Every structure is written in C-alpha cells, then in structure tokens.
A and B are shown apart, each in its own frame.
Chain A
C-alpha cells in the first residue's frame, strides 16, 4: 500500500526520475566503438584524398604571385558578376594583403575550396537522386536536417578522435556541415523545371539521361549555383571554427589572437574573414544570375 503511494508521489513530483534513458553512455559507447574499429580505416582511406585535394589547392593558390592573383581575381569577378564586383574584390584582397594576413587567407581559401569541392562531388549526385525519387528524398531529408542543425562543436570532438587534430578533421566537419544546401538546392532546382520542357524533351525521343543533362540540369543551374553559394558561405564559417581543432588560416589568426588576448590580431583576422566572405558571395551570386540558364521563360 505504501509502495503504491510512494510511486504515485514520485509520478507527480519527479516523473522523469522513474526511468532513465542512458543516451550519454550509448553515444559514448557508439563513438568509442566507431573510433576504435574505424579509426585506421578513416585515417588511411578518408584522410589522404581530403589532404591531397587540400594541398593541391594550397599549392596552386600560393604559387600564384599576389599581383597576378589580383589580376586573375579581377577578370573572374568581372566575367562572373560585373566590373563593380571586380573592383571591390581587388580592393578587398589588397586590404587583406596589406594587413599582413595574405598567406593565412590563402590557407583559408584552400580549405574552403576543398570543402566545396567535396560538397559538390557528393552533393550534386545525391541531389539529383533526391529529385528523381520521392522515397530517396524522404530518407535523405532528416539526415540533412541533422547535418545542418547539430551544433558543430558536437562533432568536432569525434572528428578529432577519428582523424587527430589538423586540417583534415576540420575539413571533414566542414564538408558535413556545408553539404546540405548543395543537396537541397540541386533537388529543388531539378524538381522546379517546368513540365512543359520535360514534355518537349520526351516528345522528341530523349532518354532520361538526355533529359537530365540537356534540359533539367541546365535549367536548374541558377538554383544549383545558389546552393553552391550557400555551401561556400557555410564552409567559410566552419573553416573558421575548425581552427579550434587545429585547422590553419584566418580562423587560427582569430583563435590565437583571442587566446593571447591580442585583440588587434583577432580583429585583423575577423576583418579578413568578412572581406573574403563578401567577395566569394558576390562572385558566386553573379555566376548564378548571369548564366544562360537563368534566361526568363518568356
């Protein structure tokens, strides 16, 4: 009798104390299990390609003399967007150089390029698959939500456990964090293509692959470019955070500055990040708006 009373009292005062889900232990165990079983696999099969791409970008970008870099930047920004954007880009990069963080910027740029490279490499085909199968998209969607909303710090630690510190875990975290918009926008862009065009393509005997490559992807390109733009922006923010686990570049500049209470150093890093972000954003936005696929329907 008194046991039942105790139970009822507990039920009203502390219902969650009655039963405990040992989630912490489960996750710790799972991560521990993955780390102990797959660490070697990740280090031998995932790290090298990521590091290889990263080093290639870094080598290519840092071997261009700054003046030529600025000239190329001008041309790219001008072709992709407008001469205004081009002028702004050159001024912004020159400022970065004059503030003495050019080399750090090159590292950050290489990290972003690597992240975006893998995001496109994986995200584009996955996005295409999503657009072709409602079932597949239903499975992928919650995964994308998890990838995008989980606070980055939560998976920075497992990343370190798998890859140890350095650029690679930062990059892996970046790829996971920045990929969802690529998949979402590819899927959206393809699904949005007006059925009239698909019908016309079918009426002339196109195969599904021909419809995809000759009609759907070209017409989805502005949306896909918007996805790439978002992916670049997310990569940039993640690359900065990844400095905590040993990634280099501008993020490290900020992190190191804060650690040593050198506000000036942190501030310079911060300004450089903002400038870099603005330039990348304007150029990729221009690309999306200017391409032939963005021509209005009528």
Chain B
C-alpha cells in the first residue's frame, strides 16, 4: 500500500549537502556538530501491506513524526522515494507529486490524526468531523449524514453541536479519529494519537481503533513511543533510533529477537504476555525432551525426560494426542480446548484449580491466554496443531521461562548486534 525507499530528511538551510556525509556513514550527532544540520530521518525503508496496522516506535526525537510527515509530504524528504499503491490507480510516487496531486492524495487517499488532536477550536464537533468533506465541496446535507454516522461509530453520538474545548482529551481524540475516517481515505496516518491520554482511556481507544480498523478495512501507519501499545495494535513494528529504522518485524520477532541494545532496552520493559505465543514457549515434543516409556495397544506413552515420574502423554500412530495420564493413575484426564475453559477462568479459580483436566491450545495462542488456562488447571497445557498432532507441552518451567527469558535480553542482543550490522531492512 505504501512503500518507502531510502527516505532521508535533513533539517537546515543547505540540507542536500549533508547527504554525502550520511553516505560516508557519519552519525546524526557528528553531522550536527560539523554542519549544524539536524538529521531527522536517515535512510528509512519499509512497506505497508493493505489492511495492516504498521507501528513506528522509538524514543522522543528519534524521527517518527518527521517520517510520518514525509509520507503525506507535510515535510518534503531530502532524499528517497515514497510510493502509494491502490487498486484504482496502481502505483504512484508520492515524492514526485505536485501540489495539486498532493491535495488529491490528501483528500481521498490519506488522512491524519494528530498527537495534540489539532481540532479546529472555532468549529463544532460535527463541523470538525466533516472538514475534509467540506474541503471537497461535497453536498452539505450528505456530509452531515456521513459525519453523524462516523461520530456514532467512535461513540460520540449526541455531541455533534459541542465545541472541542467542552470535551475531555479522550473524546477530543475520538473527534480527531472521526475527522480522519469521514473522508473514507484508505490510509490513516496517526502520529502518537493516544500518547496524550490517560492510561485507561488509552487502552480503550486502542481496542476501539482495532475494531474500527477491522470493520472499515483501513491501512494504518501508527506512531507511538510505547512498545506495549505497538505490540497490542501493530501487525508489524518498525523501531527507530536517532533517525534510523533499526529493526522491523512482527511483535513477537521484536520481543524475542531484539537486534540492538536499544531495542532490547524497550523489550525489557514490555509486557510479553499479550505477544508471546504458545508456539514460542512450548517444550517441543521430540526425542531430546521426551522419552518413550510404555506402549498400550494403539497408544504410545511418553514422559518428559526432566520429569520421569510426571505426566504421561499418549499419542496414536499419527502422533495425535489421545491421553494425558496423571502420575499414579491409569485413566487419561479429560482433554478440553483451552479457549473454552479460559472464558470461565474467574469462576473456576473461585472453586479451586482442577487437576483432572488437560487444556489443549494451538501454537498461535498468546501467553496471556495460556496463563489464564493455567489458573484453572494444574495439568500441563498441551499444544497441538490443526490435525490434533502433539507439538509439545507447556508446564511451569516453560511459563516462567516464557515470561522472564524468552524476550531478548541484552547479552543476546549484543552478540547479534556485533555480527549483524543494524540496518533498516526491508519489510518484515
């Protein structure tokens, strides 16, 4: 949908003169000291797939706002090219557009939500919402209908005639979102839209954004300085450090394999439970970890090598899991899908954890859900694939390891950073 190639922005009078210095590999600080030019973004490459939420994450001053403003040319990049592709018009180069073409792009294809809302104080909520339509000289009555509909969607029905200053921060940003949705642009650029909001409201807004994004099938470029936020809503995350994109990947990639110390620092403080999946933390079902202990007609039984007296797992000839047997028992416990049980977790936790039910999940289940299931049952969680074949198990060591160790940490990061020069690689 959007593709950026080598996008670079240098602030200063004679910005072009800094490009050769950048190519020589000089850093942002060196260039600033030598020439007084400020490098906002350096050689950024990324690609947005249609319908995804792509997050750009980084500390304040790392160039996120500059980069997103290059995409709709509120800032002209000093070097590099940006392309926009859609079904009607094919691929067009944003960086080659003239003023009139840019206006068309901004009217119909890309809208924007701002960190400090930037609602027009002299316009009502409804008039703010339909600003983009008014600019396009659309029929006033139809515009108002569209405006009311979008306001309903963001939960602001009934506030049409209020003025922005009468609204709370969260509500103002809902108006900001409504204004961006009203033009039906396929791409939404959001520059730290929730950073100015209280934490609780923030989580609500993230949830609603995800809902609306799915419902309306928009592609979103989302900026944030909060890795948890990026991981919660992003399909892909690009991490920026001092103007450079240092890593691009899906949330779990970033969490498990931070490429630089900078990324590792973020990851260390992130909440992994919503990102890590069962497939990552599972103890894989193979000969190094499991030992065959018995055979009983159709089924072959295995135990964990580190726990020979523990649970036995019975699989059939097609490796499908058929039985989970407690130590000292002969009958299998009940095997139930984790998602079903996790829904009643609170209830079950009250009546006590069960020891007679094994929970089954697939590799995509996130750690948080596995933990929820674990609070219902003391039996190891079993991970199976679509055909019911055993992929592995998750017991306490895996859970603890998953929470504490699986996200990349510094030693690991330094090792990889040394042999793998961090560069703004292609899309993840």
Contact = CB atoms under 8 A, between A and B. Distances in A.
Contacts of B293: none
Contact of A204 (B119, B122, B135): B135
Contacts of A218: 120, 122
B194 interface: no
Contact of A295 (B116, B163, B189): B163
Nearest to A295: B121
A199 B114 contact: yes
Nearest to A194: B118
B45 to A, nearest CB: 24
B114 A200 contact: yes
A248 B102 CA distance: 57
Contact of A205 (B106, B114, B121): B106
A197 B74 CA distance: 13
Interface in B172-229: 179, 183, 189
A205 B107 contact: yes
Interface in B72-125: 72, 74, 102-108, 111-112, 114, 116, 118-122
Interface centre among B74, B116, B120, B183 (most CB of A within 10 A): B120
B135 A296 contact: no
B11 to A, nearest CB: 15
A205 B122 contact: no
A198 to B, nearest CB: 9
Interface string A203-226: 111110010001100110100000
B135 A203 contact: no
A260 interface: no
B35 interface: no
A202 B106 contact: yes
Contacts of B121: 219, 293, 295-297
A145 interface: no
Nearest to A202: B74
A223 to B, nearest CB: 13
A205 B107 CA distance: 5
A204 B111 contact: yes
B147 interface: no
Interface in A119-176: none
Interface string A277-298: 0000000000000001101111
Nearest to A291: B122
Contacts of B134: 214
Contacts of B111: 203-204
Contacts of A259: none
A205 B132 contact: yes
Contact of B72 (A196, A203, A206): A203
A218 B127 CA distance: 14
Contacts of B106: 202-205
Interface residues of B, number: 29
B120 A210 contact: no
A140 B179 CA distance: 39
Chain A interface size range: 20 to 34
A219 B121 CA distance: 8
A204 B119 CA distance: 12
A23 B164 CA distance: 59
A199 B74 contact: yes
A210 B135 contact: yes
Contacts of A201: 131
B74 A196 contact: no
Given A202-B106, A295-B163, A219 B122 contact: yes
A210 B137 CA distance: 11
A204 B120 contact: no
Contacts of A214: 120, 131, 134-135
Contact of B112 (A203, A292, A293): A203
A205 B112 contact: no
B423 interface: no
A210 to B, nearest CB: 6
Contact of B183 (A202, A204, A210, A297): A204
A218 B102 CA distance: 25
B340 interface: no
Contacts of B103: 205-207
B74 A204 contact: no
Interface centre among B105, B108, B132 (most CB of A within 10 A): B132
A205 B103 CA distance: 4
B136 interface: yes
B218 to A, nearest CB: 16
Contacts of A200: 112, 114, 118-120
Given A203-B112, A215-B120, A296 B74 contact: no
B74 A205 contact: no
A197 B120 contact: yes
Nearest to A297: B121
A34 B102 CA distance: 51
Contacts of B305: none
Nearest to A218: B122
B117 to A, nearest CB: 8
Contact of A293 (B107, B122, B136): B122
Contacts of A202: 74, 106
A293 B108 CA distance: 28
Contacts of A221: 122
Nearest to A210: B135
Contacts of A298: 165
Interface string B156-175: 00000001110000000000
Contact of B131 (A204, A207, A292): A204
12 contacts: A197-B118, A200-B112, A203-B189, A205-B108, A205-B135, A218-B120, A219-B120, A219-B121, A221-B122, A293-B122, A295-B164, A297-B121
Given A196-B116, A204-B135, A214-B120, 4 more contacts: A203-B106, A204-B111, A296-B121, A298-B165
Enumerate the 8 nearest inter-chain pairs by beta-carbon distance, A residue then B residue, closest first: A205-B107, A205-B106, A200-B118, A203-B112, A204-B132, A196-B118, A205-B103, A293-B122
